[in-house]
Amino acid sequence: MAPAAAQPAYDSYVALGDSFVAGPGIPPQSTSAECGRSEVNYPSLVADALGVDEFIDASCGGAVSEDLQGQQISILTRATVPPQYDALRPDTGLVTVGIGGNDIGLVQLAIACTNFASAPHGTSCAESNSERPDSFDLAIDAFAPEYGTIIDEIRARSPHARILFVGYPTGIRDGGCFPEQQIWPQDATYLQSKIDRLNTVMAQQVVAAGAEFVDLRTSTIGHDSCATPDERWMEGIVPTSPGIPLHPNAAGHRNAAEQVVSSLSVND
């Protein structure tokens, strides 16, 4: 069910972003299978709540920032996906964006942090990245200016649009929950610290450029991949509800929609 609230009117809404926006694996899926978009992902719920006349979900699983402007090869079907910016129009009233995780390799890091046996039988991702400066910190900091570039590109195409960037949710709690989730305690803390750093950088860059940031980290604490299945909004290595590993499930998307709608209401 879409979150209910009295909202300002937007005639048109465009959603841009990666798989954390698209909702792959969450039924019902769009009949266009290239991007793994769920019909109950958070952009769809936001569109329902706002009652927009025109809603375009251009998000796509596997997207990096270059795919906003250029064609993407679908990781699901290998078909060519048009640039996400193509969905923007001069009269677009609202744009939400969720991007950056694939650019700096967060999912790959989560996979690298996975160990199915207890120490010392495996490799710690925290120890592997213990050299200073940390390679993921460098990647996040190097990517930071791209958020301003994205805002400039959106404004060039949709000069009157309200622009909200949606951060990444809590993936795993400090110390993890090994062996339920097969990530060693120090690696769980390390992985979440990189998600937090990306969120912090995103928020700083977006606000500095005059757009808005929607925090998902705070509202998802306690609903990470270590939570009980009925309280879990982020799936772990082995999903316990429809969705894909290491991504938000339907409940996570409902929460994200609530946070977006709330932000629109508070800041209007």
CA distance 264 to 96: 11
CA distance 243 to 103: 22
Residues 104-119 as b or e (16 or more Cβ within 10 Å = b): bbbbebbebbbbeeee
Q: Which of 19, 124, 158, 225 is catalytic?
A: 19
For the packed helices 250-267 and 42-50, what is the interaxial angle rounded to 10 degrees? 40
Helix (H) or strand (E) run with residue 162 in it: strand 162-166
CA distance 26 to 29: 6
pLDDT, position 1? 46
Within 10 Å of residue 170's Cβ, how many Cβ atoms? Answer: 24
Q: Which of 65, 225, 247, 253 is catalytic?
A: 247
Q: Look up residue 239 and give its two tokens.
A: 């999903």
pLDDT, position 119? 87
Beta pairing class for 12-17 and 94-98: parallel
pLDDT, position 6? 47
CA distance 146 to 137: 15
- Catalytic (active site) residue 247: yes
- Catalytic (active site) residue 19: yes
Cross-strand partners of 16: 97
CA distance 72 to 78: 9
Q: Look up residue 36 and give its two tokens.
A: 């793994």
CA distance 176 to 154: 38
Read off the pTM: 0.94
What tens-digit pLDDT sequence spans the chain (268 residues)? Answer: 445 444 557 899 999 999 999 999 999 999 888 999 999 999 999 999 999 999 999 999 999 999 999 999 998 888 999 999 999 999 999 999 999 999 999 989 999 999 999 988 999 999 999 888 999 999 999 999 999 999 999 999 999 999 999 999 999 999 999 999 999 999 999 999 999 999 999 999 999 999 999 999 999 999 999 999 999 999 999 999 999 999 999 999 999 999 999 999 875 5
pLDDT, position 5? 47
**Contact, 99 vs 74, CB < 8 A?**
no
8-state DSSP, 183: B
